[in-house]
Amino acid sequence: MKLRTLVPSALAALAFLFPVAMGQPLQAKPAFNEGWKKGRETGFPIPRFVSLKATRAHMRVGPSTDYPTAWVYSARGLPLEITEEYGNWRRVRDHEGNTGWMYAPLLSGNRTAVVGPWVRQPIPLRIAPSRSARIVARLSPEVRLDLIHCDGSWCRASLQERRLSGFVEQGALWGVYPGETIE
């Protein structure tokens, strides 16, 4: 009985010590998108967030203009999540869960976000990245923001139409992954 508990413990210790003995440092935290698949066309991580560059864009049911339009978007800067690539087409998902294909030149790498549709109350836009910092404004669900940078917990964001900027808790936003950093 004692041998049964000793063997797994010894194996666990060896698994922990082996990289150190081989001169390899232990990695405390993997890179944010480590292990994600790469896009077959661009080599960029999949999934990833982008924004709508065009003022009007068709989301189609397939990756070609031969396919019918499922949705028409007219909100420049809307965040979208790329989930697949096929030629010059990107399969995207919006914050409401609608999915379809968009022509890649209609998309931008500029990062934007919306206040999560799951948020029940307006969230504070603060002057500093702290829950005790002064509130600049309260943002309702689905308000669109331009992301300036994110540290994994807080995002500095701006509302261009109101000329406001401040910090928002990252977990309240759709358009940036939990723990993701943006420079």
What type of residue sits at position 35?
G
CA atoms within 13 A on the CB side of 109: 5
Residue 163 has a pLDDT of: 86
**pLDDT per position as a tens digit, 105-154:** 999 999 999 999 999 999 999 999 999 999 999 999 999 999 999 999 99
Residues 125 and 170 in one domain: yes
Residue 85 counted as domain residue: yes
CA distance 164 to 157: 8
Q: How many domains does the chain have?
A: 2
Domain that holds residue 86: 37-109
Residue 96 counted as domain residue: yes
What type of residue sits at position 90?
R
Determine if residue 110 is left, alpha or beta; phi over 0 gives left, psi from -120 to 50 gives alpha, anything else beta: beta
Q: In terms of Cα–Cα distance, which of 156, 147, 65 is closest to 109? A: 147
Among residues 109, 131, 164, which one ends one of the domains?
109
Residue 17 counted as domain residue: no
Residues 118 and 171 in one domain: yes
Residue 20 counted as domain residue: no
Residues 51 and 66 in one domain: yes
Residue 31 counted as domain residue: no
Tokens linked to 98:
């609608």
- 36 or 159, which is more confident? 159
Helical residues (DSSP H) of the chain, grouped into ranges: 2-21
pTM: 0.78
Q: Report the residue count for the chain.
A: 183
Helix or strand run (H / E) with residue 144: strand 144-151
Q: What is the mean pLDDT of residues 158-180?
A: 93
Among residues 109, 137, 156, which one ends one of the domains?
109
Alpha-carbon torsion (180, 150, 164, 134), positive or negative: positive
Residue 171, domain CATH: 2.30.30.40
Among residues 109, 127, 149, which one ends one of the domains?
109
Residues 91 and 148 in one domain: no
Asked if residue 167 lies in contact with residue 128, where contact means CB atoms within 8 angstroms, the answer is yes
What type of residue sits at position 136?
V
Please determine, for residue 24, whether its predicted confidence score (pLDDT) is greater than 60.
Answer: no
Q: In terms of Cα–Cα distance, which of 32, 60, 71 is closest to 181? A: 32
Residue 30 counted as domain residue: no
Residue 161 has a pLDDT of: 75
Averaged pLDDT of the chain: 85
